Amino acid sequence: MELRRLGRSDLKIAPLMLGTNVFGWTADEKTSFSILDAFVDAGFNAVDTADVYSRWSPAGAGASETVIGNWLAQGGRRDRIVLATKVGMEMGEGMKGLSAAYIERAVEASLKRLKTDYIDLYQSHRDDSDTPLAETAEAYGRLIKAGKVRVVGSSNFTAERLKSAIDTAKEHGVPRYESEQPLYNLYDRAGFEGALQQLCIDERIGVIPFYGLASGFLTGKYRSEADLSKSPRGGGAKKYMTARGMRILTALDKVAGGHGATPAQVALAWVMAQPGLTAPIASATSVTQLQELMGAAQLSLSAEDLKVLDGASAPE
């Protein structure tokens, strides 16, 4: 398995990261355990979660971390995964943001749910303009010094704010963000391509984009309004049902047909092939679904394939 270095850190991850926002929600604990087992047994190692997953579901916030913690508690797996989680999204009354006091409180709660002594990649889930960047950076520095966190990263940051955060960390002599987790896929390109992508390339910041399959739309299973009822997550794919979205699905079908692959595999392979990208994040609700997604790591797209996909998905 090819491993890619995450930014300038010592972390090395496989080219596909497992998203676990479905754990405890549309994937129960038993199924989640099977997915994690299959993922690691296939040679992949990067697992991404967040303290807030899945606050929007009956399972509630902390559910995903709890499932992963219960899986780790079985033993023998902690040193085989690069475990990433996030802090900052609202968990309840007064429980959000990137202040030093809240980060110190939140990391202890995550460590307890995850049943581990350390987090490999601790990420700011979104920017917090109410907290000085220096306060956040120094809080992370203390966690790294204490051995509770190995590396820190950002998510949903603009190029301007990420550059300011990097400069602030350097100025204060504390570890910088080594990764950024943006929304990026064949459909959602405009927010990342340009200044943010160039910054990540110039500064050697790892990029681990979320929604690699655009809420499942790029799998090709949602092609009409009627298809949205196929999954509890189907509603999230509705916004992609535009003329451009349909052009993208047609291009995915064409390229997939030439490789004996699936649209989902091609969509993820396209992300993997982009400049500066480390690994896309994708989630699965079954081992069968996961096995399909993992196949993307063995798929090599040609220059012509990329031209077809780029042409169909070019931002309007």
Residues identified as active-site: 53
Helix axes 195-203, 159-172, angle to 10 degrees: 30
Centroid of chain to Cα 12: 15
Residues in the chain, overall count: 316
Q: How far is CA 138 from CA 95, 143, 157, 205, 219, in A?
A: 20, 9, 18, 19, 41
Q: How far is CA 266 from CA 25, 39, 45, 187, in A?
A: 27, 19, 21, 13
Q: How far is CA 178 from CA 137, 197, 218, 231, 235, in A?
A: 12, 14, 28, 35, 33
Helix axes 287-294, 29-41, angle to 10 degrees: 30
Contacts of 313 (CB under 8 A, 6+ apart): 186, 187, 189, 244, 247, 248, 251
